[in-house]
């Protein structure tokens, strides 16, 4: 069983997702830290201010910090999408490269290859079982054009 094409395709697909996930995690962390710093700075500045302009600037920093924290939380939520995509790609690879061994009416049958190849093998097996069960002569497969 040749795993190289499936594995190479998986590596290609997961690389982009992993890079995006890393970037989004970094952006989320930076926005959360920036927001926390703005909120803390705004609160401290507001407690030390003696003028209405300083109070307004402190309030603006707090509001900006809250917006940055919200943005960071939103970005974190988006990372979940990329994490799920990576998980699905990995599961797909597992299904594609794992041969399925079946016990059918006392006979052990192994389906191997890609998911599409295993599906084709499974349909052929079911067709042969149906024909044998119905007492029909086996049908000679039609060669597929390449």
Top pLDDT among 39 and 1 is at 39
Average of per-residue pLDDT across 33-39: 94
Check: CB of residue 72 under 8 Å from CB of residue 29.
yes
Distance, CA of 116 to CA of 97 (rounded, Å) = 11
Predicted confidence (pLDDT) per residue in 75-130, tens digit: 999 888 888 888 887 777 766 666 667 777 777 877 777 667 777 888 888 888 88
Residue 126, class by beta-carbon neighbours within 10 Å (0-12 exposed, 13-18 middle, 19+ buried)?
exposed
Predicted confidence (pLDDT) per residue in 40-81, tens digit: 999 998 888 889 988 899 999 999 999 999 999 999 998 888
Q: How confident is the model at residue 2 (pLDDT cuts 50, 70, 90)?
A: low
Q: How confident is the model at residue 146 (pLDDT cuts 50, 70, 90)?
A: very low
pLDDT of 15 > 70? The answer is yes
């Amino acid at each position: 069983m040749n795993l190289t094409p499936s594995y190479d395709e998986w590596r290609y697909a997961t690389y982009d997702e992993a890079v995006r996930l890393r970037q989004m995690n970094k952006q989320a962390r930076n926005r959360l830290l920036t927001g926390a710093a703005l909120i803390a700075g705004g609160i401290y500045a507001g407690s030390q201010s003696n003028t209405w302009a300083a109070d307004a600037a402190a309030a603006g920093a707090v509001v900006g910090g809250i917006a940055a924290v919200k943005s960071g939380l939103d970005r974190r939520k988006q990372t979940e999408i990329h994490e799920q995509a990576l998980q699905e790609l990995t599961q797909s690879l597992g299904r594609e490269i794992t041969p399925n061994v079946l016990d059918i009416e006392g006979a052990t049958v192994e389906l191997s290859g890609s998911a599409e190849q295993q599906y084709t093998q499974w349909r052929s097996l079911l067709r042969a079982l149906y024909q044998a069960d119905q007492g029909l002569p086996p049908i000679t497969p039609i060669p597929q054009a390449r």
